[in-house]
Structure 1
Amino acid sequence: MFAILGDIEFTVAGGITGMEQRGTADWAEHARIQGKPLLEWIGEGLDECNLTIELHPLLGDPEARLRALRESKSKHEPLAFVMGSGEYLGAYVIADISNAIRRTTAVGQLTAATVQLNLREYTGPFTRKVFRPGLLNPALAGTAAAAMGSPGLLSNVTATPSLTQTVIGQAKTAGNMLRAGQNLYESVRNGNPSMILGQVPQLLGVTARAIAPLQGMSAAAGLLDDGSDLSRLSESVLGSVMGARSSLNPVDLGNIVDRFAASKDSLSQALTTMDGASTRLAGLAAQVLTRRA
């Protein structure tokens, strides 16, 4: 399996032929007298992913597969996007579907087409839904794709998110918040003491957003049979985040440079510790992907 989006499964044998990823950052441009404009980082842009899918009767009913994609888009719901390697990319929505018809029957029935699927990152509250294993979409029953073990689509039956999925989701959110914080620290670090002091509320705000997901990760991991290491890790990361915050409270013009440096070091330690769990979290995502968690 190449990847899975919600309950939509993509395979190379099932027609997936290309994938393009795109990430951006938002920068504001400020005009300056007798000098080039100054860029100021505002935040990270939404990640995008473009998939190219070939539809053909040998890969399943083309019209049924296209209809399933359109129905998923019309539900306006974020979907978990997981690669076949087990890497959890986060929640995405189907933003755009376009298809180029290559062949039809004499009465206009679709037999071959190329579909371009545009996915955009969703950063709001998200709890991943999972489906029961083994329930194939009846639209593909008896097709060559089903016979090859590459049905292309799975059923829409959903269940309560597992503890494993909760841990993965909270870790992803916490990691995103920590990276956003690091970017903000990097944009501030070359400023003068007065400018750094003026950015303290923003620095405290971005670190505060990592607290809740880290607490949620720790609580969920503590309930897993083999999650004690992740629970300890999240507590360690949380400790570094709280250290970064305490270094900036209180501060004044006389101590802001040293306090900012200490806070930045603590946040960097938090992100390093979190990144160290990437392989462990990928393993959990693989368990979810293969319906074992």
Structure 2
Amino acid sequence: MIVGSLGKIVFMVSSKYIKTIDELKMENSVDYAEHKIIKGKPKLEFLNENLKTATFNIRLSAFKNVNPLAAFEELNEYMKKGEVVRFIMGAKSKGKFVITSLKEEHKQFSAIGTVILLVLEVSIKEYN
């Protein structure tokens, strides 16, 4: 079952294959200017909507037919090139985003030192 995608990277879950996201956090915010008033409380003025940001984890396990380092490198190339990609969850597009950071957590290794379980924390920012 396809869960979503980030550019050409498809998030998918089946009994034999898992490459999906976990703990998705989306943030929307706005900016206000604060104007000081003599002998009174400051007044707020709405300025603009900020770019959306999101963070999520991706669990990459060799036991579920995923090459953890190859999957990481695919995301890393998007980030290093500043590539703009569409972020889709379910059947709905969340818009265009760029990857702003990747944090790697090497959880398990094989007997010869190959990473077999890698958890990535991915941060993305809306591209306008």
Instruction: Output the TM-score relative to the length of structure 1.
Output: 0.40
Q: 1 CA distance for matches of 2:98 and 2:8?
A: 13
Q: Larger Rg: 1 or 2? A: 1
Q: C-alpha displacement at 1:69, in angstroms?
A: 0.9
Read off the aligned partner of 1:67 and give its amino acid letter.
E
The aligned counterpart of 1:94 is 99
Identity over aligned pairs, percent: 30
Q: C-alpha displacement at 1:30, in angstroms?
A: 1.4
Q: 1 CA distance for matches of 2:98 and 2:40?
A: 42
The aligned counterpart of 1:75 is 81
Read off the aligned partner of 1:35 and give its amino acid letter.
G
Q: C-alpha displacement at 1:107, in angstroms?
A: 4.4
The aligned counterpart of 1:30 is 35
Q: C-alpha displacement at 1:36, in angstroms?
A: 1.8
The aligned counterpart of 1:14 is 19
> After the TM superposition, which residues 107-126 of structure 1 pair with which residues of structure 2 at under 5 Å, given as runs?
107-123=112-128
- Pair 108,28 (structure 1): closer, same or farther in 2 beyond 3 Å: farther
Residues 259-283 of structure 1: per-residue CA shift (max 9 Å, x gap): xxxxxxxxxxxxxxxxxxxxxxxxx
Q: 2 CA distance for matches of 1:75 and 1:81?
A: 17
Read off the aligned partner of 2:21 and give its amino acid letter.
I
Comparing 6-15 and 25-34, the one that deviates more: 6-15
1:9 partner SS: strand
Count of aligned positions: 122
Read off the aligned partner of 2:57 and give its amino acid letter.
T
Let me know the Cα RMSD of the aligned residues: 1.5
Q: What residue ranges of structure 2 are gaps of 5+ in the alignment?
A: none
Match 2:60 to one of 16, 38, 55? 55
1:14 partner SS: strand
Which structure dedicates a bigger proportion of its chain to strand? 2
Q: 2 CA distance for matches of 1:110 and 1:28?
A: 49
The aligned counterpart of 1:157 is none
Read off the aligned partner of 1:57 and give its amino acid letter.
A
Q: C-alpha displacement at 1:61, in angstroms?
A: 0.6
1:36 partner SS: strand
Residues 45-90 of structure 1: per-residue CA shift (max 9 Å, x gap): 11011121111102301111111111111110211122222x1211
Read off the aligned partner of 2:89 and give its amino acid letter.
M
The aligned counterpart of 1:140 is none
Q: C-alpha displacement at 1:113, in angstroms?
A: 1.9
2:70 partner SS: helix
> After the TM superposition, which residues 199-210 of structure 1 pair with which residues of structure 2 at under 5 Å, given as runs?
none
Q: 1 CA distance for matches of 2:37 and 2:112?
A: 64
The aligned counterpart of 1:255 is none
User: Greater RCO between the two (CA within 8 Å, min separation 6)?
Assistant: 2
Comparing 1-10 and 13-22, the one that deviates more: 13-22
> After the TM superposition, which residues 34-49 of structure 1 pair with which residues of structure 2 at under 5 Å, given as runs?
34-49=39-54
